[in-house]
């Protein structure tokens, strides 16, 4: 019995040492991961803080800056929501919500989903449609009846459950870009992304380096790139924007999201400033 007891004690002691060693290893690994994060120097700015819209400015077509028409942009359950439950029908009141300040070299990461039904009378092309408006004009400079800010639009789209419909496309309200050495003057260009049907969350990212290059990513995969974002001389606001930006080539500008008639949720909008060298 004594031998048996000693054997049991030896097993118990060995087991204790084994778990202690594993726990120490796990703590060491966790510490290494935290150290790696600190050493990476990545300091993401949370543009959406999950609580309020204090750092944003709202502009709807036909309304003064600051008028959150029909309480469309709101924060609920920790989500930034573009909601149409207080609308009776669509009346071409396009909305944009601008984050304060302007940015040039950065990575913008967003998690979004489309939900519910499009507001009555909404345009067909705006079904499950939103956008990240980058290198844009200031909210203050928008005309009272202007539909969209002069900007580079990274278009967010959802599928209809059947047909293919890529997301992270490019649209160019008042602008043009250069792609593969060719000036692109058409309004929208589709990306190489797959289609996302239903109400699933989608993670997208845009890498912006001034006027040098802009790259679109969907779930970590690059789906489009272009360069030399610039003002379009054909646009009615060209002269005004040339005065605001100071050059035809756009190197920086505002960031805004849209309200185009379909309910949209955002649970993350964050930005990492990049070195300009």
State the Cα–Cα distance between residues 165 and 158, nearest whole angstrom: 7
Q: What is the CA radius of gyration of the chain?
A: 24
Give the tens place of pLDDT for each residue, 59-88.
Answer: 999 999 999 999 999 999 999 999 999 999
Question: How many beta carbons lie within 10 A of that of residue 123, not counting itself?
Answer: 14
State the Cα–Cα distance between residues 59 and 78, nearest whole angstrom: 22
User: Tokens 């029908």 correspond to what residue?
Assistant: 89
* Confidence band, pLDDT 50/70/90 cuts, at residue 9: very low
Give the tens place of pLDDT for each residue, 89-108.
Answer: 999 999 999 999 999 999 99
State the Cα–Cα distance between residues 189 and 101, nearest whole angstrom: 28
**Mean pLDDT confidence for 205-228:** 98
3-state SS, the chain, equals: CHHHHHHHHHHHHHHHHHHHHHHHHHHHHHHHHHHHHHHHCCCCEECCCCCCCCCEEEEECCCCCCCCHHHCEEEECCEEEECCCCCCCCCCCCEEEEEEEEECEEEEEEEEEECCCCCCCCCHHHCCEEEEEEEECCHHHCCCCCCCCCCEEEEEECCCCCCCCECCEEECCCEEEEECCEEECCCEECCCCCECCCCCCEEEEEEEECCCEEEEEECCEEEEEEEEEEECCCCCCHHHHHHHHCCCECCCEEEEEEECCCCEEEEEEEEEECCCC
* Confidence band, pLDDT 50/70/90 cuts, at residue 277: confident
Does the structure show a pLDDT above 90 at 153? yes
């Amino acid at each position: 019995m004594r031998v048996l007891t000693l054997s049991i004690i030896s097993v118990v002691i060995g087991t204790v040492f084994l778990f202690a060693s594993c726990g120490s290893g796990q703590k060491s690994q966790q510490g290494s991961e935290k150290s790696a994060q600190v050493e990476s120097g990545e300091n993401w700015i949370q543009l959406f803080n999950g609580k309020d819209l204090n750092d944003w400015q709202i502009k709807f077509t036909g309304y003064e800056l600051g008028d959150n028409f029909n309480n469309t942009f709101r924060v609920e359950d920790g989500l930034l929501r573009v909601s149409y439950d207080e609308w009776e029908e669509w009346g071409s009141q396009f909305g944009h919500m601008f984050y304060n300040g302007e940015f040039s070299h950065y990575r913008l990461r967003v998690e979004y989903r489309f939900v519910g039904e499009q507001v009555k009378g909404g345009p067909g092309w705006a079904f499950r449609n939103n956008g990240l408006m980058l290198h844009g004009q200031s909210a203050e400079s928008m005309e009272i009846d202007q539909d969209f800010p002069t900007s580079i639009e990274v278009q967010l789209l959802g599928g209809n459950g059947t047909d293919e419909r890529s997301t992270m496309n490019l649209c160019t309200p008042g602008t043009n870009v250069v792609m593969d050495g060719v000036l692109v003057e058409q309004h929208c260009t589709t990306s190489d992304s797959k289609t996302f049907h239903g109400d699933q969350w989608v993670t997208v990212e845009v890498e912006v380096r001034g006027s040098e290059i802009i790259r679109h990513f969907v779930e970590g995969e690059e789906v489009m790139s272009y360069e030399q974002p610039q003002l379009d001389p054909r646009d009615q606001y060209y002269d005004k924007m040339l005065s605001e930006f100071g050059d035809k080539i756009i190197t920086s500008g505002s960031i805004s999201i849209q309200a185009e008639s379909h309910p949209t949720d955002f649970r993350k909008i964050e930005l990492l400033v990049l070195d300009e060298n």
